[in-house]
Amino acid sequence: MVYQILEGSTVKSSFNKRIFIYFLGIVCPLLSLLILSTYNVMNICYNYPDLDNQLLSRWNREVDSLVKDFYLFDSNSLEDYIIEYNEKVPDPPKPSDKLCSAVIEAEKFDCLPRGLVTQDACTKKGCCYSESSGNVPSCFFPPAFQSYTYSSINRTEKELSAELTLKYNLFYPSVPPKVYLKAVFLTDSNLLVTVLPYPFPSMSEPYSTNGKTEESSGVTDNVLYDFVLDSNSTGFKVIRKSTKTAIFDSRDIGGFIYSNLFVQISAKIPCKHIYGLGEGRTDLPLSTNWTVRTLWNHDTVPTDGVNGYGSYPMYLCAEGNGLAHTVTFLNSFAIDFILQPGAITYRSVGPPLAIQFTLGPSPLQAVTQIANMYKSFMPPYWALGFHLCRFGYKSVEDIKRVWNSTRAAGIPYDTQWVDIDYMNNRNDFTIGENFTDLGKFVDMLHKNGMHFVPILDPGISGSEPKGKYPPYDRGMELDIFVKDSYGKKPLVGKVWNPVSTVFPDFTHPKVIPYWIEMLKSLYKNFEFDGIWLDMNEPSNFVNGSINGCPKNILEDPPYVPAVQGGKLKYHTLCMSAKHSLGPHYAVHNSYGVFEAVATNFALTQIRGGKRPLVITRASTFMAGTFAGHWTGDVISSWDDMAQSVKDIIQMSMYGVHLVGADICGFNGNTTVELCRRWQQLGAFYPFSRNHNTDDGIPQDPVSLNIVDSTKKALLLRYSLLPYLYTLFWQANNNGTPVIRPLFYLFPNDEASYRINSQFMWGDGLLISPVLKEGHTYVKAYLGNSIWYDMYTSAKIISNSSQIYALPAPEDTIPVHIRGGTILVMQEPNVTTTLTRQNPFHLKVALDGNNQAKGMLFWDDGDTNDGNYSTVYFGIINNTLMSCNDIRNYKIDRYINRIEIFSLNSVKQVTLNQKTNLQYNFNGTTNVLALENLKLDIQTDFNITWT
C-alpha cells in the first residue's frame, strides 16, 4: 500500500533496481501488477448496476443490505418495542460515600441523562450524587456498577459469544432479563460486536451478526486486536495487540444499559484526536470537553451543537504513534454521543447495540477498511464539472441570461441547476408558467455538451383537485404514502406546497415504479440529467403532522436525545407514523438514503442506462453508494467557508466522496472578496456548485465581476479532472477516500492531526485555500515532504516543524503536487465534454529518490456499459514508463506534453531507447518539457533522459 508507508520525509517507493531490470525487458504485465499492488486494488472488477427488469429484485437486495448491514430496525409494530418482561430483579444497592468520592471527574458517567437530577432520584438508581459544574454530571455511576452479569461465555477462533443476565433494576421500560453478546472476528483488522435481547421477538439469533460469522475470513497470527471479557465486570475491552492499548474499554464504568428503547454504553478510549460523529457543524478534530453530538436528521441552518442533516455514528480515533482505528455504531435510531476527556458514551433510543471496529493500523487504512462495507458510486464525468444554481430564478429567460453571460465569459461550466422556482405552486412534477420553455432550454444545453439538474422534494401536495394531480392520485392508488399512526390514511404535513403535504414511503416496494412513473412524466417536459434531493430529512413545517401526533411511547420515549426543538417530531413526522419497514421512529434517519436509492434507480431507468447524478441533503451510511451530498444552507461568511473544509474531510470519512458546500454561501449576501476566494476553494470541492438563496444578491462569477480568478481556478480544475476521476474510481474500487486530511499522509507527525484548513486530493495534490479576509498568503503545514508549486514548479523541501507562508495573490489558490506523483492531466476547455476531446499531458513530480508514479482510469464517463481502460505510469532511473493494463475502452487521445520537475541537467532524451526527442530544459526552473509528443496513450512507451 502506498498510502500508509509515508512516514515523515521518507516517501518510500515500491520501485527498486532489481525490478527495474525487469522493466528494461518491457514486461508490462509485471509493471502493472507492481503498480496495481501499490494501489491496493483488491479486485479490478468494476460493475455498474445492471439495467434490466431485475430492478425490483436489486432494490430488495439494496434494502436488505441497508437493513442488515446497518441494523435498521425491521419491525412494523409498536408492540415489538415495548415488551413487558416479567422477571423481577432488585433495585441496585446505594453505593458507599467512599466509593463515590473516589470517582475522578473524567470518569463520571451520567446516570440520569437528560433527566431531572435530584439526589433522591439519583441514589434510588444506585448512583452517586455530588453537585458539579458545567456539563460534568452530578449523578454518576459508582465504579464497578453491574447492570448485567455474564452467565455463560464461549470462545472459538472466529467468535466469542456470551450470555448476560440482568442483575439490577435499570429503571427503563422493556429491559430484557437476558442479552446475548457476540464478537465476530471478521478479519485481522475488523471486529464486530453485537448485543441483542435474548431471545428477541421477530429477530432470530443469526440476525445478530447477519451471517457474518459464516462469511468472515477469520483471523490469522497477524490479528491486530484482542477481545477481552472479564467475567466479573459488565462490558468488554478491545485491545490493540501491538501496543497493548485498550482502544475501547467499557468494563466497570457503569454505563451499560440495555432496554428496547434505550441503549447506553460508555467506554474509555485512547484518542489523542477524534473525528466524525456527524453530520453537524463541528470542529475538526472534535472537542472532548463534555461535548454532546446528537445524530437525528434535521433541516436547520448548520449550527454548532445542533443536530444536522445526516447521521453517521462513526468515529476515527488517532491513538498516537501513527496508529488509528474506527468505531462504527451500526444503528439508525436517534443517538447522543458524549465525549468527555478520555471516554465516550453512546446512547441510542433503540436496539441493537452493534459496533464494528477497524484497526488500521494507519488512519487511512482504518478509514478504508470501514468504507469497504459499501461501494461508493462512480459519478458521471460531467458531474465533476462546475455547476451553477440559485434559488430565485424568475423564468427560463432569467436562467438564460446567467447562462449566456457565464458562457460568454469563458468560465468552465457544465451544469445548470434550478431550485423549486420551476414548479407550479412549488409542487413536485409540475412546471410553472414562466418555465414552460425549460425543455427547449435543456435541449440547447445538451447541444452544447452541458447538463441540467432540477430540485425535487419528497413531499407531494395533498390538496390538489381530484384528478388534476397524478403524483397524489397515483400515490393513493398504489398506497405508497407514509401512513399516520393509525395506519389507515396518509400522514399529512406541510412543506413547500400551498396547503398540505404527504410523504412517499421510500421503504415501500411499490415506491420504485411510482417514482419512475413520476420522474418519467417530468422528463417528458425537460430531459434532466440528475436529480437534487432537498428537504428529505424529512423536513416538515409543522411538528409531526397538521393534526399533531397521538400519545404513545414512541412519541414520548423514556429518553430523548438532545435534538433541536426538544422532541423527535420537531419539524419532521410523527414518530409513530407508519412506513412499510417500521415506524418513523426507526426509519427517520435513513429516509433520505431510501429516497436516494429510489431516485438513483429511476434515473438509471429513464436515462437509458446512463449513470445518474443524485445529490441528497439528508444522509446516513450507504448514501455514498447512491448519491453525493452538499452541506446545505450554509451562510455566506468567512467562517462558514472555513468550516466547509472540515465538513468535506469528515464526509469523506463516511464514504461520501462527491461532496461540496454551496460556493459563496447560501444564506445572506456574499462579498466580492469572499466569493472570489470561495470560487477558488470550491474549484477543489469534489462537488463544485455555486448556489444562492432567493433574497441574496446575485453571486454567479460574472455578476460579481470575479471572472478572471474564477476562470483560473476552474481551468486548473478541469485540467486535473483525469486525476480526480481516477480517484473516484479508486474510491469505488478500493474504498480509498478522494478527499483526505493531511494526517493520512503524515500519520506519525502529531502536528498533522490538527490541520483543518488544508486538504488533499488523493495523496498527490495539496490544496491550501485562503480562508481569511484580506490575506494574500496562506500559513500552511507541509509535513516532511517534497512539494512542487502547481503554477511555478518551484520545489519546497518541507519540514514538519515549520509553518510556510504560501503566496496567494488575489487570483490564486495555492496548490502543490507532492513529490512522487505523476499527474495525468488534460488541456482544459469550457465543458468537460470539450475537455475530454483534448490531449493529455503529464506533470511529473519526483520524490527524494527521483521516483514517481501515477495512473489513469478512463471510460466513456457516462454509461453503465462497464468498459474501461487503465494506464499506469512509473519512473525509475531517469526513465518514465507507461503500461496499459486494461484496454476495454478506446481512449483515442495523445499524450502531447510531459513536464518533469526538478532535474539538474539534461543532455539527451530518447523514446523507447531509439528515437531522440526534441526537448526543452529550463535551467532556471529545472523543468524538462517535452512538447508535441503525439504519444498514443494506449501504446506502452518509455522515455529516458540523461
Ligand X SMILES: *[C@@H]1O[C@H](CO)[C@@H](O)[C@H](O)[C@H]1NC(C)=O
Measured from the CB atom, the residue of 180 and 585 that comes closer to ligand X is 180
Q: Smallest gap, in angstroms, from Cβ of residue 386 to ligand X?
A: 19
Question: Phi and psi of 756, rounded to 5°?
Answer: -130, 20
Measured from the CB atom, the residue of 25 and 134 that comes closer to ligand X is 134
851 within 8 A of 835, measured Cβ to Cβ:
no
Specify which residues 838 forms β-bridges with. none
352 within 8 A of 260, measured Cβ to Cβ:
no
Q: Helix or strand or coil: residue 745?
A: coil
Known catalytic residue at 534: yes
Q: Smallest gap, in angstroms, from Cβ of residue 484 to ligand X?
A: 32
Contact residues toward ligand X (CB under 6 A) are 134-135, 152, 154, 161-163, 230, 232, 289, 394-395, 397, 400-401, 404, 432-434
Q: Smallest gap, in angstroms, from Cβ of residue 703 to ligand X?
A: 14
* End-to-end Cα, the chain, rounded Å: 30
Q: Smallest gap, in angstroms, from Cβ of residue 657 to ligand X?
A: 33
Residue 844's alpha-carbon distances to 151, 354, 640, 745, in angstroms, are 63, 46, 35, 19
Measured from the CB atom, the residue of 251 and 676 that comes closer to ligand X is 251
Query: Which is catalytic among the residues 534, 700, 763, 940?
Result: 534
The total of other beta-carbon atoms located within 10 Å of residue 21's CB is 10
Q: Smallest gap, in angstroms, from Cβ of residue 197 to ligand X?
A: 14
CA atoms within 13 A on the CB side of 472: 21
Q: Smallest gap, in angstroms, from Cβ of residue 744 to ligand X?
A: 26
Q: Smallest gap, in angstroms, from Cβ of residue 154 to ligand X?
A: 4
Element (H, E) at 180: strand 178-185
Closest CA to 247 of 190, 352, 318: 318
178 within 8 A of 191, measured Cβ to Cβ:
no
Q: Smallest gap, in angstroms, from Cβ of residue 397 to ligand X?
A: 6
Q: Smallest gap, in angstroms, from Cβ of residue 698 to ligand X?
A: 15
Closest CA to 349 of 387, 272, 295, 298: 295
Say what angle helices 396-408 and 438-447 make with each other, to 10 degrees: 20
Q: Smallest gap, in angstroms, from Cβ of residue 693 to ligand X?
A: 17
Instruction: Write down the H helix ranges in 607-751.
Output: 623-626, 638-653, 672-682, 707-734
330 within 8 A of 372, measured Cβ to Cβ:
no
Q: How far apart are CA 793 and CA 549, in angstroms?
A: 64
Q: Evaluate the CA torsion angle 492, 493, 497, 502 in order and state its sign.
A: negative
Q: For residue 489, what is its C-alpha cell?
A: 390514511
**Single-letter residue type at 274:** I
Q: Helix or strand or coil: residue 797?
A: strand
Q: For residue 67, what is its C-alpha cell?
A: 437493513
Pairing between strand 262-268 and 310-320? unpaired
Measured from the CB atom, the residue of 430 and 616 that comes closer to ligand X is 430
Cell 464514504, residue? Answer: 655
Q: Smallest gap, in angstroms, from Cβ of residue 838 to ligand X?
A: 23
Measured from the CB atom, the residue of 13 and 416 that comes closer to ligand X is 416
Query: Which is catalytic among the residues 414, 537, 700, 940?
Result: 537
**CA-angle at 324, arms to 322 and 325, nearest 5°:** 165
492 within 8 A of 531, measured Cβ to Cβ:
no
Measured from the CB atom, the residue of 134 and 566 that comes closer to ligand X is 134
Q: Smallest gap, in angstroms, from Cβ of residue 235 to ligand X?
A: 13
Residue 2's alpha-carbon distances to 11, 365, 617, 802, in angstroms, are 9, 11, 33, 25
Q: How far apart are CA 145 and CA 91, in angstroms?
A: 12
Q: Smallest gap, in angstroms, from Cβ of residue 420 to ligand X?
A: 11
Q: Helix or strand or coil: residue 587?
A: helix
Q: Evaluate the CA torsion angle 144, 146, 150, 151 in order and state its sign.
A: positive
Q: How far apart are CA 581 and CA 596, in angstroms?
A: 16
**Single-letter residue type at 716:** L
Residue 61's alpha-carbon distances to 65, 69, 578, in angstroms, are 6, 11, 22
Q: How far apart are CA 684 and CA 589, in angstroms?
A: 29
Measured from the CB atom, the residue of 400 and 712 that comes closer to ligand X is 400
Q: Which 8-state DSSP code applies to residue 312? A: E
Q: Helix or strand or coil: residue 199?
A: coil
Question: Phi and psi of 292, rounded to 5°?
Answer: -100, 130
Measured from the CB atom, the residue of 230 and 479 that comes closer to ligand X is 230
Q: Let me know how long the chain is.
A: 946
Measured from the CB atom, the residue of 84 and 433 that comes closer to ligand X is 433
Specify which residues 766 forms β-bridges with. 760, 816
Residue 477's alpha-carbon distances to 430, 471, 510, in angstroms, are 19, 10, 11
Q: For residue 57, what is its C-alpha cell?
A: 429484485
Closest CA to 6 of 41, 38, 46: 38
**Single-letter residue type at 125:** K
Active site residues: 534, 537
